[in-house]
Amino acid sequence: SDFFSKKSALKGKKIMVTAGPTYEAIDPVRFIGNHSTGKMGYALAEEAANQGAEVTLISGPTHLTIEHANVKLVRVKSGEQMYEACSIANEASDINIMAAAVADYTPKTVADQKIKKKGSEMTVELVKTTDIAKSLGAIKRENQLNIGFALETEAEIEHAQQKIKSKNFDLIVLNSLNDKGAGFGHDTNKVTIIDNQNNIQHFELKSKREVAKDIINAIVQKLEA
Ligand code: CTP
Ligand code: CA
């Protein structure tokens, strides 16, 4: 019966996953972006869907695609568009997994014509974006679970635990930068999963597909706790 209960734990659950980078426009032909590939978010969407969840995948610009009966793919460009799509999906979702690398700052104004080259220096003024995870954390419902990601270069565990508090996460997945093959642009990840009761689980370097299974397992454990 363990076998069946494990397989059906996510059946009918509505899961929102964010993935990829965001592109913040400077003018009609330029943007500020980052190197996120979206692979982790897409792998999570696929694994959750395979386990019977109804997934809404909200993706920034990536080269990836996904075709699965249980996955609705919503493509966005900017952090603001991602926030709008997440706000809508959040109304029905049981679980929010925020794997996107959302830009922290966006140009204060977007030039409506291509900016011409002028002097030897130029400045683009930036303003903070909406923190999607923090906004959803502030309105989290009693039976909702929110899961975040973090990549830190110092005081990793401490910084991750601060993010659990400030964003009201139930779990945070800390991506380790220390090992070869982990992080942006690779097919493997080494993660540590920390929960809101300070339980810490370390995992080995694995394919993103296998990491997705570990993360989904941790979510199922949290659901059943
Ligand atoms: N996040 C988000 N919206 C933002 C910024 C971050 O939803 N505007 C989410 C990410 O998807 C991730 C979590 O918040 O799940 C942590 O992102 P991170 O960049 O590590 O945290 P920040 O609060 O932006 O802090 P900093 O970049 O200064 O470390
Ligand atoms: Ca950030």
- Burial pattern 55-79, b for ≥16 Cβ within 10 A else e, equals bbbbbbbbebebeeebbebbebbbb
Q: Which of 98, 139, 154 to mutate to test the pocket of ligand 1 (most atoms within 8 A of CB)?
A: 98
- Integer CA distances (angstroms), 196 to 32, 136, 164, in order: 33, 16, 6
Q: Residue 99, CB half-sphere, CA atoms under 13 Å: how many? A: 32
Residue 181 has pLDDT above 80, yes or no: no
Q: Is 132 in the pocket of ligand 1 (CB under 6 A)?
A: yes
Residue 170 contacts by C-beta under 8 Å, 6 or more apart in sequence?
Answer: 145, 146, 147, 195, 196, 222
172: Cβ below 6 Å to ligand 1? no
Ion ligand 2: residue ranges with CB closer than 5 A:
104
Q: What is the mean pLDDT of residues 45-51?
A: 98
**Annotated binding-site ranges:** 104, 114, 149, 163, 167
Share of the chain above pLDDT 90, in %: 89
* Per-chain mean pLDDT for the chain: 94
Q: How far is the CA of 102 from the centre of ligand 2 (A)?
A: 7
Tell me whether 0.90 is exceeded by the ipTM.
Answer: yes
**Is the separation of the CB atoms in 145 and 216 below 8 Å?**
no
Domains within the chain, CATH numbers bracketed: 2-104+124-224 (3.40.50.10300)
Atom of ligand 1 nearest to the CA of 99: 11
Task: Give 4 Cα–ligand 1 centroid separation in angstroms.
Answer: 36
Atom of ligand 1 nearest to the CA of 133: 7
Predicted confidence at residue 225, as pLDDT, reads: 87
**Residue 180: what pLDDT?**
60
User: Residue 2 and residue 5: Cα distance in Å, rounded?
Assistant: 5
What's the whole-number mean pLDDT along residues 126-147? 98
CA–CA gap between residue 165 and residue 163 (Å, rounded): 5
Label residue 118 by pLDDT band (50, 70, 90).
very high
pLDDT reported for residue 1: 45
Segment 78-99 mean pLDDT: 98
Ligand nearest to the CA of 40: 1
Taking residues 10-33, what's their average pLDDT?
Answer: 98
Q: What is the mean pLDDT of residues 89-111?
A: 98
- Residue closest via CA to ligand 1's atom 8 equals 131
Q: Which residues are catalytic?
A: 34
Quick one: average pLDDT of 153-169? Answer: 96
Q: How many helices (H) and strands (E) does the chain have?
A: 6, 14
pLDDT-above-70 percentage for the chain: 93
